[in-house]
Amino acid sequence: MRYSAVVLGMLAAGASAGAAMAQEAADAVAPEGAAATVAAEFSDISPEVAAALQAKAAGTPVQADNWMVAAANPHAVAAGAKVLKAGGTAADAMVAVQSVLGLVEPQSSGLGGGAFLVWYDAKTGEVTTLDGRETAPLAATPRLFQDENGEPMKFFDAVVGGRSVGTPGTPALMEAAHRRWGQANWPSLFEDAIALADGGFSVSPRLAGLIERDADRLSRWPETAAYFLPGGTPLAEGATLTNPAYGDTLRHIARDGAQGFYTGPVAEAITSAVRGAEGNPGLLSAMDLALYQVKERPAVCVTYRAFEACGMGPPSSGALTVGQILGMLGNYDLAALGADNPEAWRLIGDASRLAFADRGRYMADSDFVPMPTKGLVAQDYLADRANLLSGDDALPEVAPGNPAFDHALNFADDESIEFPSTSHISIVDQYGNVLSMTTTIENGFGSRVMAAGFLLNNELTDFSFRTHRDGVPIANRLEPGKRPRSSMAPTIVLKDGKPALAVGSPGGSRIIGYVAKTIVAWADWGMDVQQAVGLPHLVNRFGTYDLEAGTEATALEQPLSEMGFEVNTRDLTSGLHVIEIGEGLKGAADPRREGIALGG
């Protein structure tokens, strides 16, 4: 199954049909890639960027010998490429990429958000992870998102304003990665972002479309409204946008490190915006910011065929859920079935449902709640779960399993809502280090509250709004200092202990399906990375099988319905950025968004 040339053209030109839930629909139907427009903007200044855009539009991977970077915006990729070309490491390049993304793709990630980073270290051969997830303010209580009767608030009533803002982790993660693995001069890594913030950049088609669709919410906060809707009018595609406040914030960080963000004027601007958000103030304090810490955690690795997929463990559900899906599928011969076979998608869909059942019951911040982390991906447990898939039809019911607990505690099923925003960065440097990082402010435009030139996250709404069910506590309930459960799944796939693939995507809890499917397409169906990224999506989380509108995936609607799945055709706007590491490097950027891969 492939995108036809027509569909690829449609994606590149921004045509997209269908609608779904409020913000998710806005995210999905916004003008996409607009490769031609963006190529025109870049062709004068950067032939490499224009060539990368052409490769993407043609559906071919970008190839290189030494280094590569793939991310969601050509400006950000160009900044990372400059660092890599000059001999910087993947950690150095990430700082440059993230600094620019926070400016040119502000709706998805930035200084006001959090991120998870997976790192393959060429010197040691080890994979490790950094957790830069936001934390709940110390003053927050488990009932933060409940009304006076203990009922959950409406989602967007909780999101928009200061209440949903957790302590940002991304600036601390940038510094931690640079300290561990960087070698470039720290201030130099902000030069491109500062130049773009001061000198201006062209508003992308996707950003303009999203601003227009979210204008009501963006209008609620004066600093946000003035930036995104100057004079009350949404910024148009191609408008030149400057952000001197963002430039100043970067100058603080360039001079003082993360300290320049977590203390002093930037920190004061953050707490005052959060606490002063009229109608829905939050609890974030100077103490929360000053105490924030990045945590290095062991990677969660699961064997799949001849590979090991390594990713981010708790507080992300990403690696465990992707790992469960792959671990179950490893018991079936997907290669023999092929990508067009409904039977392959029955297995993928129900493996995913089983994994999501465990996710809802067991996965949360394991610094706060006991979790069966090892048990969830134990081979014998996954083989037992895989046996449930041995029939011919969709499972009539799906329930969590009973993985071995390191220490026992029972939890009730989770209830949390996630909408897709977020961004993914994949980088390989000339020394052989590999970085896979997914970065977010949660909802598109996060809390909509802006401070010091950037948007603040609404990550706290990734907690379950309910704390208990029938008197049994929910693992992902909010607690002071806790990190909300995430679906972000930055992944590095190893073969014989060596890196073979860096992959990740935005997409809320659909991230898990996007990443698992891309690995299957590449590992089982022999697709190159651009084909695997472009393969139409079929995603099943909680029972409904979502098929990507306008693609050949819809041909599976009838057979999957006949198997007993509830099928729903809709837009599925992933943002996969993938690099294959083999004889050389091959990079792919998702045709559904504006990113590119660039190498040298």
**Which residues have a catalytic role annotated?**
422
Beta strands in 375-490, from DSSP E residues, in sequence order: 423-428, 434-440, 450-451, 454-455, 468-469, 472-473
Among 37, 352, 487, 574, binds ligand GLY (CB under 6 A): 487
Residues 6+ apart with CB under 8 A from 71: 77, 80, 97, 101, 423, 424, 425, 426, 577, 589, 595, 596
Does the annotation flag 508 for ligand binding?
yes
**Residues in contact with ligand GLY, total (CB under 6 A)?**
10
Among 16, 108, 486, 574, binds ligand GLY (CB under 6 A): 486
DSSP H helices, 123-164, are 155-159
Query: Contact at 8 Å (CB) between 96 and 193?
Result: yes
92/134 with CB nearer ligand GLY: 134
C-beta of 463: minimal distance to ligand GLY in Å? 11
Distance in angstroms (rounded) separating the CA atoms of residues 423 and 439: 5
Query: Contact at 8 Å (CB) between 77 and 597?
Result: yes
Helix axes 511-523, 318-329, angle to 10 degrees: 40
Burial environment of residue 294 by CB neighbours within 10 A (0 to 12, 13 to 18, 19 or more)? buried
- How many residues does the structure list for the chain? 600
Among the residue ranges 1-9, 58-66, 175-183, 481-489, the one whose residues contact ligand GLY (CB under 6 A) = 481-489
Say if strands 468-469 and 307-311 run parallel, antiparallel, or are unpaired: unpaired
61/114 with CB nearer ligand GLY: 114
271/505 with CB nearer ligand GLY: 505
Cβ atoms within 10 Å of 408's Cβ, excluding its own: 8
C-beta of 81: minimal distance to ligand GLY in Å? 27
Say if strands 566-570 and 544-548 run parallel, antiparallel, or are unpaired: parallel
Does the annotation flag 133 for ligand binding?
yes
Does the annotation flag 486 for ligand binding?
yes
Decide if residue 440 touches ligand GLY (CB under 6 A). Answer: yes
Closest CA to 11 of 570, 586, 534: 534
Among 95, 245, 488, 516, binds ligand GLY (CB under 6 A): 488
C-beta of 231: minimal distance to ligand GLY in Å? 32
DSSP-assigned beta bridge partners for residue 495: 307, 498
Decide if residue 418 touches ligand GLY (CB under 6 A). Answer: yes
Distance in angstroms (rounded) separating the CA atoms of residues 287 and 278: 22
Site string for ligand GLY, 499-518 (x = CB under 6 A): ---------x----------
SS3 469: strand
C-beta of 511: minimal distance to ligand GLY in Å? 6
C-beta of 376: minimal distance to ligand GLY in Å? 18
Among the residue ranges 158-166, 326-334, 409-417, 485-493, the one whose residues contact ligand GLY (CB under 6 A) = 485-493
Residues 6+ apart with CB under 8 A from 123: 431
C-beta of 487: minimal distance to ligand GLY in Å? 4
Site string for ligand GLY, 441-460 (x = CB under 6 A): -x----------------x-
C-beta of 365: minimal distance to ligand GLY in Å? 12
Among the residue ranges 80-88, 186-194, 257-265, 480-488, the one whose residues contact ligand GLY (CB under 6 A) = 480-488
| Binding positions for ligand GLY, 140-179, rule CB under 6 A | none
Distance in angstroms (rounded) separating the CA atoms of residues 6 and 15: 11
Among 129, 422, 467, 540, binds ligand GLY (CB under 6 A): 422
| Binding positions for ligand GLY, 457-476, rule CB under 6 A | 459, 462
Does the annotation flag 462 for ligand binding?
yes
Among the residue ranges 93-101, 267-275, 386-394, 482-490, the one whose residues contact ligand GLY (CB under 6 A) = 482-490
Does the annotation flag 471 for ligand binding?
no
SS3 31: coil
C-alpha angle 440-585-502 in degrees, rounded to nearest 5 = 30
CA dihedral 214, 80, 94, 535 (to 10 degrees): 60
Sole residue written with tokens 């030149």: 240
Among the residue ranges 41-49, 195-203, 227-235, 483-491, the one whose residues contact ligand GLY (CB under 6 A) = 483-491
Q: Which residues are annotated as a binding site for L-glutamate?
A: 133, 462, 486-487, 508
> Interface residues with ligand GLY (CB under 6 A)?
418, 422, 440, 442, 459, 462, 486-488, 508
Q: Which residues are annotated as a binding site?
A: 133, 462, 486-487, 508
